[in-house]
Amino acid sequence: MGLGLLASKALKPTASRLLSSQNPRSLLFLSRTVTSTPELQKPEQAAQAQPEPTPDLPPRTPLAGARVHFPNPDDAIEVFVDGYPVKIPKGMTVLQACEVAGVDIPRFCYHSRLSIAGNCRMCLVEVEKSPKPVASCAMPALPGMKIKTDTPIAKKAREGVMEFLLMNHPLDCPICDQGGECDLQDQSMAFGSDRGRFTEMKRSVVDKNLGPLVKTVMTRCIQCTRCVRFATEVAGVQDLGMLGRGSGEEIGTYVEKLMTSELSGNVIDICPVGALTSKPFAFKARNWELKGTETIDVTDAVGSNIRIDSRGPEVMRIIPRLNEDINEEWISDKTRFCYDGLKRQRLNDPMIRGADGRFKPVSWRDALAVVAEIAHQVKPEEIVGVAGQLSDAESMMALKDFLNKLGSNNVWCEKNGMFHDADLRSGYLMNTSISDLEKADVFLLVGTQPRVEAAMVNARIRKTVRATHAKVGYIGPPADFNYDHEHLGTGPQTLKEIAEGRHSFSSALSNAKNPVIIVGAGLFNRKDKDAIFSAVEAIAKSAKAVRPDWNGLNVLLLSAGQAAALDLGLVPESENCLESAKFVYLMGADDVNLENIPKDAFVVYQGHHGDQGVYRANVVLPAAAFSEKEGTYENTEGCTQQTVPAVPTVGDARDDWKIIRALSEVAGVRLPYDTLTAIRSRIKTVAPNLLHVDEREPATFSTSLKPQSNQELSSEPFGTAIENFYMTDSITRASKIMAQCSALLLKK
């Protein structure tokens, strides 16, 4: 419900006519003016007084990106919304028809991504020849229907509903965290009365404990059941329900139970009132004091679109942004609540480890001088660089260029391990694309647990399974799934059986129209990865998963930096260069095998958190986190996106690429770029797709061009790539909320 719309409703008709004779958009509201009370009492007279809508007005623009998609052109029907004809496909509801016509219908229980409940009754509209107002969200639009959204009857009906809703709603907006972004608050401005006729006691409901993320104030609940439907349909955890009846009705779990979903934070967004709010954000800020920065998330390889809300130098909260192709409008709990990790254990100053083993803060000048000196003392092949999983493309480019100038080519991104095949993009991307997973009918998950590795991809698979009953086969250790699946086996042996057509699932694959095979990036670290990939390719071939119109062979990456690192060619030259290294440059890398680094090696850690890498480091260079810098990231499906700085850097930290650029100059191998634009034009020569922001660049060549490997499959079963969903990188490991989550929600 746009506040602007409400405000313009309050305009006097004559005034708006004067103001907006040029503006057709505001002219719309002319015919939707609020009827005053005397007219309400005499509806017949008011109806006569209403001017007939002029048919030659320009067409209205659909609301909030409402899309009209005609699956079958013959199914188009025409309805009239306030006299304006609109063409919509058959099966749309009255509310959707109104949205296409550019009329916003107030609603609480209706949510476009959830099933229809029709229990709040706020969306009542008048339909000609219908004896009563109809709930537009649950009423299918019929050909020739004449829908009236601005008549006295519709308004009075909504006012009545609003009065009932406010009857048992506490008047605690001043202490409610939803205040300012509350649907009930907004809509009561338009349809609420300034006094109530309810003289009895308001009911009160005991608050529920849903875990460390969601705070409940159940007295505020208006029983729209959006959270119940979200939990059941999208999150796939049937924990929440509507208990009791009548005035005793309440949302709850009945038995004491925490909401153990990786998407539970989204109920905060969909709750139209302040019943479900963010526990870590409680009483921290008001939404109008926050500065929103539209950026992307880096805690997994999905690259969910987020908005960082900050106040001054502090990130206050993270909320999702709509992107139909990637995260729809949900984000995982890790994305949403990792932000308190950005304030803890940060590295402020450059530091050098003294002889006593303690770090001593030094100036940038001294730190860089020390690093540059050591870098020149070692042999070029003993220099190793590891980019962290959160690294942006610019800094990885700079790191690779820097090490190349020093004469070394041992540089890689930590989660990729010794993965060499960076030549073919299709070999490490999700070729199907996240949104096209919905078209698949059979899934084969090889060594990947999408629920913990990429919660948004898992939500897509679940959506597909729910909608089309797609079959899911899974090979790997026993794992948690929130949809029906078939556990085929635990290791490469099963893969071999399917590849040779001996397994029962191979017939399902070959009968599938759009089969999808997803290989987990956790397999990159296995010795027999080439054999696994050729087995998977054999399966894809027999199932015809790779066709000109369909590419069903996917790799699901684990972290935000991986795809860009492979695009930029960050692959190590020799297998065990880390063991023989004398100078190790860790650019935010905490998950490499630190114990493999020789004792006498000099380790530089450049990063934003005092995490595992710092324990081994000799020099620490503080860098900016993803919320503080502009950086390019490529997600697992090959879509390039950029982060935008939301808050200033902490302490004396610098952007990653700037540190490497400065170090290169101190070391006497000056890199030729001084600005972000310059470094991007350097990237253009290596991976031009990284400059096409917000575009998915599909891989051009399929993996069939790859030479066959004659490696033997080992019998060792697949492992789990991510042990703890809530703590995967330095930011989430520093987060207190994530620690609480893993303590409470992972306990089984």
Per CB under 8 A, 241 contacts another protein: yes
CA-wise closest residue to 59 among 15, 28, 18: 28
Of 533 and 657, the one with the shorter C-beta distance to another protein is 657
722 Cβ contact partners less than 8 Å away, ≥ 6 residues apart: 449, 452, 453, 522, 558, 728
CB of 739 to another protein, least distance (A): 28
Range in contact with another protein (rule: CB under 8 A) among 171-179, 268-276, 490-498, 646-654: 646-654
CB 598 within 8 A of CB 579: yes
CB of 405 to another protein, least distance (A): 16
169 Cβ contact partners less than 8 Å away, ≥ 6 residues apart: 184, 202, 220, 222, 273
Q: Which two tokens stand for residue 434?
A: 């996240």
Q: Which of residues 619-638 bind another protein (CB under 8 A)?
A: 624
CA-wise closest residue to 430 among 512, 325, 278, 295: 325
Please identify which residue in 21, 45, 238, 247 interacts with another protein, judged by CB under 8 A.
238
Distance CA 485, CA 474 (A): 7
Q: 176 to each of 289, 552, 558, how far by Cα in Å?
A: 15, 47, 38
Please identify which residue in 3, 7, 10, 243 interacts with another protein, judged by CB under 8 A.
243
Of 661 and 733, the one with the shorter C-beta distance to another protein is 661
Per CB under 8 A, 240 contacts another protein: yes
Per CB under 8 A, 218 contacts another protein: no
CB of 178 to another protein, least distance (A): 25
CA-wise closest residue to 523 among 515, 532, 514, 512: 532
Identity at 587, one-letter amino acid code:
M
Please identify which residue in 434, 553, 601, 666 interacts with another protein, judged by CB under 8 A.
666
Per CB under 8 A, 653 contacts another protein: yes
Of 325 and 665, the one with the shorter C-beta distance to another protein is 665
Please identify which residue in 658, 703, 738, 741 interacts with another protein, judged by CB under 8 A.
658
Please identify which residue in 99, 150, 239, 530 interacts with another protein, judged by CB under 8 A.
239
CB of 630 to another protein, least distance (A): 12
Binding flags for another protein, 353-392, as an x/- string (CB under 8 A):
----------xxx---------------------------
CB of 273 to another protein, least distance (A): 21
Range in contact with another protein (rule: CB under 8 A) among 149-157, 249-257, 401-409, 597-605: 249-257
From the number of C-beta atoms within 10 Å of its C-beta (0-12, 13-18, 19+), residue 157 rates as: buried
Identity at 303, one-letter amino acid code:
G
The DSSP code sequence of 284-342 is T--GGGPEEEEEE--SSTT--EEEEEEETTEEEEEEE--BTTTTBT---HHHHHGGGGG
Of 577 and 660, the one with the shorter C-beta distance to another protein is 660
Per CB under 8 A, 253 contacts another protein: yes
> By rule CB under 8 A, what count of residues binds another protein?
28
Please identify which residue in 297, 436, 655, 729 interacts with another protein, judged by CB under 8 A.
655
Range in contact with another protein (rule: CB under 8 A) among 115-123, 231-239, 323-331, 580-588: 231-239
Please identify which residue in 9, 466, 485, 670 interacts with another protein, judged by CB under 8 A.
670
Please identify which residue in 463, 661, 696, 733 interacts with another protein, judged by CB under 8 A.
661
Distance CA 299, CA 710 (A): 36
Identity at 138, one-letter amino acid code:
A
CB of 238 to another protein, least distance (A): 3
CB neighbourhood size of 438 (10 A): 16
CB of 652 to another protein, least distance (A): 8
Identity at 429, one-letter amino acid code:
L
Of 351 and 662, the one with the shorter C-beta distance to another protein is 662
Residue given tokens 């993965």 in the structure block: 419
Per CB under 8 A, 254 contacts another protein: yes
Of 443 and 673, the one with the shorter C-beta distance to another protein is 673
Range in contact with another protein (rule: CB under 8 A) among 1-9, 81-89, 248-256, 417-425: 248-256
Per CB under 8 A, 315 contacts another protein: no
CB of 394 to another protein, least distance (A): 14
CB 297 within 8 A of CB 304: yes
- SS3 of 615-676: the string is HHCCEEEEECCCCCCCEEEECCCCEEEEECCCCCCCCCCECHHHHHHHHHHHCCCCCCCCCH
From the number of C-beta atoms within 10 Å of its C-beta (0-12, 13-18, 19+), residue 152 rates as: buried
- B/e letters for 331-367, b = 16+ CB within 10 Å, e = fewer, are bbbbbbbbbbbbbebbbebbbbbeeeeebeebebeeb
Q: Which residues sit at the interface with another protein, rule CB under 8 A? A: 232, 238-245, 253-255, 363-365, 624, 648-649, 653-655, 658, 661-662, 665-666, 670, 674
